Amino acid sequence: MSRQTEYPIHPQFTARWSPRALSGEAIEPAVLMSFFEAARWAPSASNVQPWRFVYGLKGTPGFEAIFASLVDFNKGWAKNASALVAVISAKTWLPHGTSEALPFVTHAFDAGTAWGHLALQAHAAGWVTHAMGGFDADVLRQGLAVPEDFHLNCVVAIGKQGDKSQLPEALQAREQPSPRKPLAEIVAEGRFSF
Ligand SMILES: Cc1cc2nc3c(=O)[nH]c(=O)nc-3n(C[C@H](O)[C@H](O)[C@H](O)COP(=O)(O)O)c2cc1C
C-alpha cells in the first residue's frame, strides 16, 4: 500500500507502522527503558508531564495483568508481544503554590504526544509498537491498581516483527503499512472548511 508523501519529510514517519505479527522474543529492560526515555521528553502543558507508563515483560505477572484486560481480538495477536505497556495520564494537577487539585484538561493530549515519541524511538531501534484501544478499563485499573484520578488511555504492544503466517488469514491481508487521508482533508487555512 502506498505511503507516498505530498511534501518531503523525515522517512521515520512513513516507515513506522503497526504490525500484529510479533516474534515473542524477550526485550532487554534497558532497551524498553530507552523507549520511555524518549516519551519522557515530550512537551506537555505547563510541563506537567501527566503521562505514566506501567509495563509488563512477557512471562511476568505484570504482563498477564495487562493482557487480561485486552479484548479477545487483541489477545489473539498481542500474546506474542515482548512487553505490554499501559499508557496512563493524571487527570488533575496541583498548580504551583496551591493545594487544591484542578482538572488537567490536556492530560490525554500530552500522553498521546509521549506515546508518539515512544513509538518513533522504538521504530528507530528496530522494534515495533502497536497501540490498542480495545481493552477493558475496569479490568486494567484493578489489575494494575491505578487510582481513579488517572485515566487509562491505551495499551501498547511492543515486540520484534514476526512472520505474518502466524496470523489468521484475514489479518495476514491487513499486515502492511496503511495509507493516510490527503492533506486537503485535514488541513485548512483560516476557517474550518471540512
Ligand atoms: C489509540 C489507538 C487505539 C488502537 N486500537 C487498536 C486495537 O484495539 N487493535 C488493533 O489491532 N489496532 C489498534 N490500533 C492500531 C491502529 O488501527 C493503527 O495505528 C492505524 O490503523 C494506523 O496504522 P499504522 O499504525 O500501521 O500506521 C490503535 C491505534 C491507536 C493509536
- Domain ranges in the chain are 21-163
CA of 127 to the centre of ligand 1 (A): 16
CA of 100 to the centre of ligand 1 (A): 36
- Select from 3.40.109.10, 3.30.70.20, 3.40.1160.10, 3.30.470.20 the CATH code of 21-163: 3.40.109.10
Task: Give the whole-angstrom CA distance, residue 186 versus residue 184.
Answer: 6
Rounded (10°) CA dihedral 22, 17, 178, 192: 140
User: What does residue 175 show for φ and ψ, rounded to 5 degrees?
Assistant: -85, 70
CA of 120 to the centre of ligand 1 (A): 15
Burial class from Cβ neighbours inside 10 Å (0-12, 13-18, 19+) for residue 190 reads exposed
Evaluate: CB of 83 within 6 angstroms of ligand 1: no
Write the residue with the smallest CA distance to atom 12 of ligand 1. 132
pLDDT score, position 36: 99
Evaluate: CB of 179 within 6 angstroms of ligand 1: no
pLDDT score, position 1: 53
Q: What is the mean pLDDT of each run of 10 residues along the chain (194 residues)?
A: 90 98 98 98 98 98 98 98 98 94 97 98 98 98 98 98 95 96 98 96
pLDDT score, position 2: 75
- Residue 18, all three cell numbers: 503497526
Task: Give the whole-angstrom CA distance, residue 61 versus residue 41.
Answer: 29
**85: CB partners within 8 A, 6+ apart:** 53, 54, 55, 56, 66, 118, 155, 156, 158
Evaluate: CB of 49 within 6 angstroms of ligand 1: no
Evaluate: CB of 154 within 6 angstroms of ligand 1: yes
CA of 33 to the centre of ligand 1 (A): 22
Write the residue with the smallest CA distance to atom 4 of ligand 1. 132
pLDDT score, position 95: 92
- Within a 10 A sphere around the Cβ of 93, how many other Cβ atoms? 19
Evaluate: CB of 39 within 6 angstroms of ligand 1: no
